[in-house]
């Protein structure tokens, strides 16, 4: 059953999907909560965004709220990794502390993937033995993702953001949330996510670079428009409330077609490599960082993006948005 009321339930959710103009309420600031570190760790090319322990992260969120940010995308990075049976204790604690401190002042979306939890850095669980040993175990992967989503939502997450690109994961998560009495929790799906060269700084931040092979077996080939649109249509049919293209700039031609095909709000992720290109160019004196950042945001809005995940969301108020 369609549930449009999930996106009407409070002012911040309504701000996110307002169609008339581009506002600070439609910019999401990524955060990296890292277990077992004592101080902030800078991330190459991402400016003020750092890998942070919980106490420092809470201070950062407070400063971001004062700067006008209301939407956050949390990436929990646990200190202990495995291959299956993940315990999201650190993520649940982090979510709980954020919501305890800031409550309804923010919307907290939580990235839901296995890449930062696994010892091998891939986004799924692999068969350990038998005829399929070494191959992705799709059923086990969906079960793990559904468990993470339930845990995150129960801990206080305002929304779930699956980024793994496994077939059927949105349906599995939607079913798990509904079955656990968490049916009001919206899903912001990374619905069209390409296998891309532009994720480098993020993989440093989330400690998620694959230890072997690559992710081309489950992320979309950047040459394929039909697959890209159909992937978002599938996510919409499985129960996603919000759709997303990633990387943003190299997917910009797909935003409007996906919206037209699904009727869903479609956003974009200005990924780490795209954002880092601006900071590094500015460091060399080749561009004005502020002007370049605003230009990219204008292009995303021109292309029809409903919302934007960007490491520069905390600069929006300073830049006049």
Taking the C-alpha atoms of 216, 218, 221 and 224 in order, what is their torsion angle to the nearest 10 degrees?
Answer: 160
State the average pLDDT over residues 284-304.
Answer: 95
Among the residue ranges 40-49, 130-139, 149-158, 265-274, the one predicted with the least confidence is 130-139
Give residue 20's pLDDT band: very low, low, confident or very high (50, 70, 90). low
145's enclosing H/E stretch is helix 138-155
Angle at 169 between CA 196 and CA 310, to 5 degrees: 45
Residue 4 reports pLDDT greater than 80: yes
Strands (E), the chain: 27-34, 41-42, 50-52, 71-77, 107-112, 159-162, 188-193, 242-246, 266-269, 308-309
pLDDT, tens only, 153-184: 999 999 999 999 999 999 999 999 999 999 99
Q: Is residue 195 part of a domain?
A: yes
Could you tell me the two tokens for 119? 């010892």
State the pLDDT at residue 106. 97
Could you tell me the two tokens for 106? 């923010």
Q: Is residue 89 part of a domain?
A: yes
The answer to whether the CB of 317 falls within 8 A of the CB of 294 is no
Percent of the chain at pLDDT exceeding 70: 99
Q: Is residue 251 part of a domain?
A: yes
Cα diameter, the chain:
59
Q: Is residue 321 part of a domain?
A: no
Among the residue ranges 82-91, 138-147, 166-175, the one predicted with the least confidence is 82-91
State the pLDDT at residue 16. 82
CATH number of the CATH domain containing 194 = 3.20.20.70
Q: Is residue 320 part of a domain?
A: no
CA distance to 20, 177, 239, per residue, from 160 (Å): 25, 10, 12
Buried/exposed 28-39: b ≥16 CB within 10 Å, e otherwise: bbbbbbbbebee
State the pLDDT at residue 129. 78
State the pLDDT at residue 40. 97
pTM to 2 decimal places: 0.93
Q: Is residue 240 part of a domain?
A: yes
Q: Is residue 190 part of a domain?
A: yes
Domain range enclosing 303: 4-315
The 10 Å Cβ neighbour count of residue 168 is 14
Structurally, how many domains does the chain consist of?
A: 1
Residue 138 reports pLDDT greater than 70: yes
State the average pLDDT over residues 42-53.
Answer: 95
Cβ neighbors of 160 (< 8 A, separation 6 or more) are: 109, 110, 112, 149, 152, 153, 173, 177, 185, 186, 187, 188
Q: Which residues are tagged catalytic?
A: 193, 246
Give residue 3's pLDDT band: very low, low, confident or very high (50, 70, 90). confident
Average pLDDT over the chain, rounded to an integer: 93
Q: Is residue 220 part of a domain?
A: yes
State the average pLDDT over residues 89-99.
Answer: 97
State the pLDDT at residue 277. 97
State the pLDDT at residue 207. 82
Separation between Cα atoms, residue 304 and residue 298, nearest integer Å: 10
Q: Which SS3 state, helix, strand or coil, does residue 93 take?
A: helix
Residue 80 reports pLDDT greater than 80: yes
Give residue 214's pLDDT band: very low, low, confident or very high (50, 70, 90). confident
In order, the DSSP letters of 268-305 are EE--HHHHHHHHHHHHTTSS-HHHHHHHHHHHHHHTT-
Q: Is the dihedral of CA 52, 53, 54, 60 positive or negative?
A: negative
Give residue 78's pLDDT band: very low, low, confident or very high (50, 70, 90). very high
Where on the phi/psi map is residue 47: left (φ > 0), alpha (ψ -120 to 50), or beta?
left
State the pLDDT at residue 21. 67
């Amino acid at each position: 059953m369609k549930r449009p009321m999930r996106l009407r339930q409070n002012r911040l959710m309504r701000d996110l999907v307002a169609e008339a103009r581009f506002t600070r309420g439609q910019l999401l600031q990524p955060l990296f909560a890292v277990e077992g570190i004592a101080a902030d760790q800078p991330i190459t090319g991402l400016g003020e965004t750092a890998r942070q322990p919980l106490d420092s992260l809470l201070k950062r969120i407070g400063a971001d709220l004062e700067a006008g940010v209301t939407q956050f995308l949390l990436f929990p990075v646990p200190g202990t990794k495995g291959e299956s049976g993940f315990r999201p204790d650190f993520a649940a604690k982090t979510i709980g502390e954020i919501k305890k401190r800031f409550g309804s002042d923010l919307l907290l979306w939580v990235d839901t993937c296995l890449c930062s939890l696994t010892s091998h850095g891939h986004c799924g669980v692999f068969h350990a033995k038998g005829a399929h040993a070494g191959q992705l175990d799709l059923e086990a992967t969906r079960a793990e993702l559904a468990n993470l989503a339930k845990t995150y939502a129960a801990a206080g997450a305002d929304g779930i953001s699956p980024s793994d690109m496994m077939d059927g994961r949105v349906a599995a998560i939607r079913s798990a949330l509904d079955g656990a009495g968490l049916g009001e929790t919206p899903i912001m799906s990374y619905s069209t996510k390409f296998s891309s060269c532009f994720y480098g700084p993020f993989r440093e931040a989330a400690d998620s670079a694959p230890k072997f092979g690559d992710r081309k077996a489950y992320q979309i080939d950047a040459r394929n428009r039909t697959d890209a649109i159909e992937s978002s249509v599938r996510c919409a049919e499985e129960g996603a409330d919000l759709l997303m293209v990633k990387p943003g700039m190299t997917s910009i031609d797909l935003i409007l077609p996906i919206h037209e095909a699904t009727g869903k709000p479609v956003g974009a992720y200005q990924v780490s490599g795209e954002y880092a290109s601006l900071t590094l160019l500015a460091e060399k004196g080749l561009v004005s960082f502020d002007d370049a950042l605003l230009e990219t945001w204008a292009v995303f809005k021109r292309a029809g993006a409903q919302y934007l995940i960007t490491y520069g969301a905390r600069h929006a108020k300073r830049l006049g948005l």
